Structure 1
Amino acid sequence: MDLTALLTPDCTRRAVAGTSKKKVLETIGQLAAGRCSGVTGFDVFESLLNRERLGSTGIGLGVAIPHGRVQGATKPVAVLMTLSAPIDFDAIDNQPVDIIFALLVPEDQHEQHLQTLAAVAGRLNDKQCTRALREATSDMELFEIFTQCET
């Protein structure tokens, strides 16, 4: 899975002020809606929130991968952000989260959704990659680090 085809610089943000999981999901909705024609920020937020109700997408080591299928979306969209301060995300290791990669896919792309999640999780499980992401000093540097990390 070529993650660089999903993530664009305009959906990459460094040092976002997120005070709660809900606020972060709302921010993701606003960013992603700009790339999904016919989909609102609320549609994205609702999809992510519904998925979180099934169980946290905090995978541990300060990383969360919120994801969902969005009715009306025509292509997959990703959002990458680091937070200015870690937040509680109900992660599996009970540690706060400061790196978030959100994935939104059209409702009918179940298989691609799973393959992409696996690729993202592999990349964000690399401690060298996550260390570099945390040290990024600009949105563009964050984007470049993520797209250059090996899976």
Structure 2
Amino acid sequence: MDIAKILKPEAVRVLAGMTSKKRLFQDLGEVAAAVYGLTAGVAVDGLLERESLGPTGVGHGIALPHARLEGLDRIVGVFVRLEKPMDFDSVDRQPVDLIFTLFAPKDSGVEHLKALALISRTMRDANVCAKLRANGQAATLYAILTENRPQAAA
């Protein structure tokens, strides 16, 4: 599995003026609807439901919100870089500016976990994050996220 199979170029965005998680999730749902044909409200509800179990801010300015949804036939992603970091209740209490969101079929099981592990490995790479933070063009962000890297164990 590689990120290019999960993430379409048009699902990569740079957002300004984000003030709340709920507003961010609405924007993520709208992108997922526009790019992948998901129902925005269902995507937002799935993200909010998962977030209610515990924050998905994993530290170092990174969040990995995710949701399992009915009617989805494959795992898809949305990546957002925020121009201004926002509070995300992260484990290290640091504001978040890099958000990689996954939407998976309700019954995806192991595939969902493999996708989360892949995204987590990629986002744990300090060089990748530095490049993402240094660029503001969606096409460049997509290229950084999808460039081939050696695969290591999760």
TM-score (structure 1 length as normaliser): 0.94
Taking the aligned partners of 2:25 and 2:15, their CA distance within structure 1 comes to 15
Q: Contact 2:7/2:78 (CA < 8 Å) preserved in 1?
A: yes
Q: Contact 1:14/1:142 (CA < 8 Å) preserved in 2?
A: no
Percent of pairs identical after alignment?
Answer: 37
Structure 1 moving runs of 4+ over 6 Å: none
Q: Contact 2:28/2:78 (CA < 8 Å) preserved in 1?
A: yes
Answering whether residue 2 of structure 2 is matched by residue 6 of structure 1, we say no
Q: What is the CA distance between 1:79 and its match in structure 2?
A: 0.2
Q: Helix, strand or coil: the match of 1:81?
A: strand
Match of 2:20 in 1: 20
Taking the aligned partners of 1:67 and 1:133, their CA distance within structure 2 comes to 20
Q: Helix, strand or coil: the match of 2:10?
A: helix
Match of 1:92 in 2: 91
Taking the aligned partners of 2:131 and 2:36, their CA distance within structure 1 comes to 29
What code does the residue aligned with 1:94 have? R
What code does the residue aligned with 1:23 have? R
Q: Helix, strand or coil: the match of 1:14?
A: strand
Q: 1:6 to 1:16 in 2, by over 3 A?
A: farther
Taking the aligned partners of 1:20 and 1:93, their CA distance within structure 2 comes to 18
Measured on the aligned residues, the alpha-carbon RMSD in Å equals 1.3
Q: 1:23 to 1:100 in 2, by over 3 A?
A: same
Q: What is the CA distance between 1:149 and its match in structure 2?
A: 6.0
Q: What is the CA distance between 1:35 and its match in structure 2?
A: 3.6
Taking the aligned partners of 1:90 and 1:131, their CA distance within structure 2 comes to 22
Q: Contact 1:13/1:81 (CA < 8 Å) preserved in 2?
A: yes
Match of 2:68 in 1: 69
What code does the residue aligned with 1:113 have? H
Answering whether residue 123 of structure 2 is matched by residue 120 of structure 1, we say no
Answering whether residue 46 of structure 2 is matched by residue 47 of structure 1, we say yes
Which ranges of structure 1 fall in alignment gaps of 5 or more residues?
A: none
Q: 1:94 to 1:114 in 2, by over 3 A?
A: same
Q: Helix, strand or coil: the match of 1:8?
A: strand
Match of 1:30 in 2: 30
Which ranges of structure 2 fall in alignment gaps of 5 or more residues?
A: none
